[in-house]
């Protein structure tokens, strides 16, 4: 199988490596070529433009920042996509974005599967993402086979677009959990307490969360190497709030997370991990 991966940021590069390890032929393209080049050592063919990456590919994977970036790359590649190619759209693009890309696929006569993922850098590197796949039932088996090296779990959630809806629900949980962890650690610190004592309080109980330990450790060290960057978290908070607005849901906790994310994005933490929202809570 030849897989073209458009976008080799944190997620796309980890996924490309896992397809290479599984023995697939992998072509990669990234706007900033330097970020794709290390994949050549692992056996990938690095393309200069989206069109060269997709030519003759059986599967096209898009793993770019947002719907605009995906649409631009797919428009640029369109004339060179072969008949029968499967488009696995795995970026987080929200409800309208997923529909816009579905319309683009219809215009270009492509088989479109909307399949965003849950899981960050480490699960991506370990091939343990959860894929929220949605699209025509007749390609379900093919999609599950393609995703095996990158996803520990593939949920098939219905017609195209349902995956993006479920992704917004999952990220509502991710963002509000991180906001909660940031609040608890900021208050502990401001009250002269050791954040580790807070972790001991919840440890083993019904409110314990691996996330509190992982993100809390970053907050206590005030070091935020990117796993889920602030830039992506701001974009996702806006997609969730737009969905809430049109569905008539008051997502107050997501609004709080967005406010803190916006603050740290303005304060030069855009490329750091979203756990940096702690700094806004702590007013540091």
- Please, which residues have CB within 8 angstroms of residue 21's CB and are 6 or more apart in sequence? 127, 149
Shortest gap between Cβ of 40 and ligand NAP (angstroms)? 16
The C-alpha angle with vertex 84 and arms to 77 and 10, in degrees rounded to 5, equals: 50
Using CB under 6 A, pick the residue from 2, 5, 12, 172 that binds ligand NAP. Answer: 12
In whole angstroms, what is the distance from residue 213 CA to residue 143 CA?
34
Applying CB under 6 A, the span of 5-13, 106-114, 134-142, 245-253 interacting with ligand NAP comes to 5-13
Active site residue 21: no
Using CB under 6 A, pick the residue from 229, 243, 254, 276 that binds ligand NAP. Answer: 229
Beta carbon nearer to ligand NAP, 152 or 187:
152
Shortest gap between Cβ of 20 and ligand NAP (angstroms)? 17
Beta carbon nearer to ligand NAP, 198 or 215:
215
Q: In what order do the strands lie in the sheet with 111-114?
A: 45-46, 25-29, 2-6, 59-62, 86-89, 111-114
DSSP-assigned beta bridge partners for residue 45: 27
DSSP per-residue string spanning 175-196: HHHHHHHHHHHHHHHHTT--HH
Position closest to ligand NAP via CB? 9
105 binds ligand NAP (CB under 6 A): no
210 binds ligand NAP (CB under 6 A): no
Applying CB under 6 A, the span of 64-72, 182-190, 253-261, 276-284 interacting with ligand NAP comes to 64-72
72 binds ligand NAP (CB under 6 A): yes
Q: Print the binding letters for residues 108-127 with ligand NAP: x by CB under 6 A, - otherwise.
A: ---------x--x-------
Point out which residues bind ligand NAP (CB under 6 A). 7-12, 30-32, 35, 63-65, 69, 72-73, 91-92, 117, 120, 227-229, 232, 236
């Amino acid at each position: 199988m030849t897989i073209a991966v458009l976008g080799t940021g944190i997620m796309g590069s980890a996924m490309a490596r896992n397809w290479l390890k599984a023995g697939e032929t992998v072509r990669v393209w990234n706007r900033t070529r330097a970020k794709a080049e290390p994949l050549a050592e692992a056996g990938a063919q690095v393309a200069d433009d989206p069109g060269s990456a997709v030519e003759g590919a059986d599967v096209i994977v898009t793993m770019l920042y947002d719907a605009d970036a995906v649409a631009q790359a797919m428009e640029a590649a369109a004339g060179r996509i072969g008949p029968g190619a499967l488009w696995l759209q795995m970026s987080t693009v929200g409800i309208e974005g997923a529909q816009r890309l579905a319309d683009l696929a219809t215009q270009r006569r492509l088989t479109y599967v909307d399949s965003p993922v849950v899981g960050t850098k480490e699960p991506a590197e370990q091939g343990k993402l959860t894929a929220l796949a949605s699209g025509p039932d007749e390609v379900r088996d093919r999609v599950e086979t393609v995703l095996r090296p990158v996803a520990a779990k593939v949920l098939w959630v219905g017609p195209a677009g349902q995956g993006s809806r479920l992704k917004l629900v999952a990220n509502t949980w991710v963002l509000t959990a991180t906001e909660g962890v940031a609040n608890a650690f900021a208050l502990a610190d401001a009250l002269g307490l050791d954040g580790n004592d807070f972790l001991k309080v919840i440890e083993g109980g019904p409110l314990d969360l691996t996330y509190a330990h992982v993100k809390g450790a970053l907050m206590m060290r005030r070091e935020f190497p990117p796993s889920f960057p602030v830039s992506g978290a701001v974009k996702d908070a806006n997609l969730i709030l737009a969905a809430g607005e049109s569905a008539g849901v008051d997502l107050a906790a997501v609004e709080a997370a967005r406010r803190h994310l916006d603050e740290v994005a303005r304060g030069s933490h855009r490329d750091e991990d979203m756990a940096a929202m702690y700094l806004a809570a702590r007013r540091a």
